[in-house]
């Protein structure tokens, strides 16, 4: 539980904001120096997502997606814009969203909104999104704030919409990273928070072909 490792909530959030302000607005910066894994990550995410976008009565729509913790728009550019008509981006670091406008190029015209906000304070517009994609950012929320944010995401989904979390998973318990002021939770803790938010897991997958020295990464789809 984050309550056991986060001593001061205000400090937890403000220290993270300060950390990201000093990170270069590049793909390498977004991936902590692991820019070379970006294509592996995107290709796996595309395969995972496309199973929900295929034909069928419960098919997830492709009208609008939300990229949470979007940074400069790496996921928006390579995963979401090729699959969805429009995308919204939300990130706590204004410089990243400014950089995104040039990084995304011509296709960036289909980004409707750039929201500069921490996810603990952000509410997706109700009944608006086919997919809400949350990658490598849940560690910057306390358990309570993550559960509350996921509840707001659930309200933000269109019919047959899904919420996707893709993130690092600890082997056991909750581990604090003092450098970027984030936590890494184990699978059981994440699943409990998902259930607490009233969401049901539809699929869960471990990322393959990532470097051995980094945390295991899992992707969850839920609604």
Q: Tell me the pLDDT band of 54, cut-offs 50, 70 and 90.
A: confident
**69 assigned binding-site residue:** yes
Q: What tens digit of pLDDT does each residue of 168-220 get?
A: 999 999 999 999 999 999 999 999 999 999 999 999 999 999 999 999 999 99
pLDDT, residue 57, reads 84
Q: What does the block give as tokens for 186?
A: 């184990």
Do strands 111-116 and 129-135 pair parallel, antiparallel, or not at all (unpaired)? unpaired
**93 assigned binding-site residue:** yes
**49 assigned binding-site residue:** no
pLDDT, residue 53, reads 96
Percent of the chain at pLDDT > 70 equals 100
**119 assigned binding-site residue:** yes
**135 assigned binding-site residue:** yes
Q: Is 58 exposed, middle or buried (0-12, 13-18, 19+ CB in 10 A)?
A: exposed
Q: What does the block give as tokens for 143?
A: 């358990």
Using alpha carbons, list the distances in angstroms from residue 56 to 51, 59, 62, 201, 221.
10, 5, 13, 19, 17
**201 assigned binding-site residue:** no
**74 assigned binding-site residue:** yes
- Averaged pLDDT score across all residues of the chain: 96
For residue 55, pLDDT beyond 80 = no
**92 assigned binding-site residue:** yes
CATH architecture, domain defined by 2-222? 3-Layer(aba) Sandwich (3.40)
Task: Give the residue extent of every domain in the chain.
Answer: 2-222
């Amino acid at each position: 539980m984050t309550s056991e490792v986060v001593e001061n909530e205000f400090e937890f959030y403000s220290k993270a904001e300060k950390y990201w302000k000093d990170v270069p607005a590049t793909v390498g910066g977004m991936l902590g120096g692991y820019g070379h894994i970006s294509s592996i990550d995107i290709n796996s995410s595309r395969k995972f997502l496309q199973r929900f976008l295929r034909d069928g009565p419960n098919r997830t729509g492709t009208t609008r997606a939300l990229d949470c913790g979007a940074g400069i728009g790496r996921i928006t550019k390579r995963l979401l814009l090729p699959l969805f008509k429009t995308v919204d981006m939300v990130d706590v670091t204004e410089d990243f969203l400014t950089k995104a406008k040039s990084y995304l190029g011509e296709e960036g015209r289909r980004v409707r909104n750039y929201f500069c906000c921490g996810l603990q304070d952000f509410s997706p517009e109700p009944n608006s999104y086919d997919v809400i994609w949350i990658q490598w950012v849940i560690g910057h929320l306390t358990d309570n704030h993550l559960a509350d944010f996921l509840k707001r995401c659930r309200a933000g989904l269109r019919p047959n919409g899904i919420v996707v979390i893709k993130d690092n998973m600890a082997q056991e318990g909750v581990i604090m990273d003092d450098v970027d002021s984030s936590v890494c939770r184990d699978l059981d803790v994440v699943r409990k928070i998902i259930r607490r938010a009233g969401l049901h897991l539809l699929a869960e997958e471990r990322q393959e072909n990532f470097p051995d020295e980094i945390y295991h990464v899992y992707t969850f789809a839920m609604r």
